[in-house]
Chain A
Amino acid sequence: MSTVVLLAITGLGLGAMYFLIASGLSLIYGLMGVLNFAHGAFLTVGAYAMWYSETKLDAVPVVPRFILAALVGLVVGTIVAALVELFLIRPLYGRHIEQVLVTVGLGLCITALIRSIWGPDPKFVALPPWTRETTSVLGASIPNDRWIEIITAALVLLGLNLFLRRTRYGLIVRAGVENRAMVTALGIDVRRAFTLVFAIGGVAAALAGVLSALYFGTVDPERGTSLLIFAFIVVVIGGLGSIGGTAAAAVLVALVQQFANYYASAGMGDLSVVLLLAIVLLARPGGLTAAAPA
């Protein structure tokens, strides 16, 4: 029983990261039709910005230092994402293939740049001691950082839903996902929403980067790329452009992965996720929520 609880909660922690990456991907794809291959790089940039500012703030006690560094990570991730949209994606509007190609190149470049500056080895991050301790739940010792990840993702899910349903910009984004041409015809400049959606995606990805530092205790240049692949799977299973579907799929994928890794053998988790993807595609090609892609 305690093993099941541990696996389930650890799985939720992993699912939280998948959700944070996948929600941005899904929104960007839903609104702009661009699959953002640089999204993993936003995550890595956020994580490294956090690690770097931690090393510069070593006079500050560990808890405020972690929070400050995490904020720096988020800000840097957001700025990078918004700049990428403004200067690299914007000139290529309407040319989806070229946009995807640019994000592919950008993902490779940013990762290679980080590797060439700080080396390929993982860097240890100073974390508040509380996150390294465990809490006992139903006989299972759960590492405390899992709670932070789960709660953060839940808050982001709530916040995104509030933003999409209660604000004017959220309305424009939702309408744009539904039918971009109609929104433009009604005299609303959807393109301004593009930058916004990229910035939201960037902040979520950087948040995932900070949480991944918490989850793994380290940052490394390939972190974003390796998480991005599972985020892609989550986006396809959840249905492109649907936040609720993405959240459900993130939890499903992470749980399947955790349990298969433990009960079958290491590596089986990744394979069963791919199998899950194949089954979902055979049964419902549009993903679980079957939202029609824009």
Chain B
Amino acid sequence: MTRAQIRAVVVPVVVFGLLAIVPKLAVDIPVLFPGSLDSPGTLQLLALMLTFAGLALTYDLLFGFTGLMSFGHALYFAVGVYVAAVAMTKWHWGFWPSILFTCAVGLLLPVVLGTISLRVTGIAFAMVTLAFAQAGSVLAFKNPGGLTGGEDGFGVDYTKLPSALVGIFNTKNLYWLALVYAAVVFVVGRWAINSSPGKVWQAIRENELRVEVLGMRPFDYKLMSCVLASFLATLGGIVYLMLISGASPDVTTPPFTLALLIMVVIGGTGSRWGALIGGVVYTYLDHRLADLSGSSAVSGLPSVLRVPLREPTFVLGLLFILTVYFAPGGLARLGRIRRRPTTFEEAL
């Protein structure tokens, strides 16, 4: 094995291994986290960060590696949250049948919707996926047949969940579940990107016409990428459901997909570590900015600065714009040589 190959195994093992022992550490990190690392509050936040890290990576498979700018990725995450929650709570199915059913939906839906939306390319594709996600969002908000609980969503029937995942004492198990999810997406992502269809994805990203001229059908490969990314996002939705033990329509909205886009770009498009880092940073700031801006350092500022800092979306949006201008490779490539800025040109 070459050094690069060894590093490709050792680095993830070390990183995920270190993350796995976090719930055993009674270390207090003041300001950054609400409590010591093994407290349920901190573990819950860390678990959310890991779930969104995995989810951001699924979006990066589409956007960063295949060059497909989808604005509807939230839909498949929401499928994981809502279908599982509805099956367990409203239809009173058992845990495993619900999960299996959700996985089946998460596999079939992207096949159908992908087949339709991939008939167009570039910006039209972005808009069509946005429209489909909007349809899902309408379903979640309008509460058809009392299934989705409308604007408030609903809590999942926790008697159906495995007992190891219920209760505040078991937050560490939820944390490990989220960690496993992030690790699975990471490993599957690597396997997919290095497989021969994965090479074609990246070729499509660089120049779709050339792939077609070489005698391949880009449509098949793009559909494959859509289905894999969407299915992994559905799994993420299931993990998220366990974490917050309820379904709320926030995860169906277009801003949620845009949040994924922001995570990937801030972290670094087309980089697996970048997407993970982006998901972690975004989720952390999204949850902690409100608390941090209440701190004494911020409350001393004039109101012109203080008011916008209360809105995490504003700060994150600004960070996102700055990344696009000044660090096009994202956090993962800070300090490295800039990529050619025209790399994604053909994707649109």
Contact = CB atoms under 8 A, between A and B. Distances in A.
Interface of A: 29, 33, 35, 88, 91-92, 94-98, 100-102, 104-106, 108-109, 111-113, 115-117, 225, 229, 232-233, 235-236, 240, 265-267, 270-271, 273-274, 277-278, 281-282, 285, 293
Nearest to B135: A274
Contacts of A88: 321
B188 interface: no
Interface of B: 69, 116-117, 119-120, 122-124, 126-128, 130-132, 134-135, 138-139, 141-142, 144, 254-255, 258, 261-262, 265, 307-308, 310-311, 313-314, 316-318, 320-321, 324-325, 328, 341-342, 344-345, 347-348
B261 A101 contact: yes
Given A95-B344, A104-B320, A105-B318, 18 more contacts: A91-B325, A92-B325, A102-B325, A105-B262, A109-B314, A116-B308, A116-B310, A117-B307, A229-B134, A229-B254, A232-B130, A233-B127, A240-B124, A266-B142, A267-B142, A274-B131, A277-B128, A293-B124
B324 A102 contact: yes
Contacts of A35: 123, 126-127
Contacts of A116: 307-308, 310-311, 314
Nearest to B347: A97
Contact of B134 (A106, A270, A285): A270
Contacts of B321: 88, 102, 105-106, 109
B345 A96 contact: yes
Contacts of A293: 122-124
A225 B320 contact: no
Contact of A97 (B117, B131, B344): B344
Secondary structure dominating the interface of B = helix
Secondary structure dominating the interface of A = helix
A100 B119 CA distance: 21
B138 A270 contact: yes
A91 B322 CA distance: 13
Contacts of B122: 293
Q: Which 4 A-B pairs have the closest CB atoms?
A: A267-B142, A112-B314, A109-B317, A108-B317
Contacts of A236: 120, 124, 127-128, 131
A274 B136 CA distance: 10
A270 B140 CA distance: 12
A113 B311 contact: yes
B131 A271 contact: no
Given A95-B342, A104-B258, A116-B314, A235 B141 contact: no
A118 B316 CA distance: 19
A97 B314 contact: no
A26 to B, nearest CB: 11
A97 B69 CA distance: 9
Contacts of A282: 116, 119
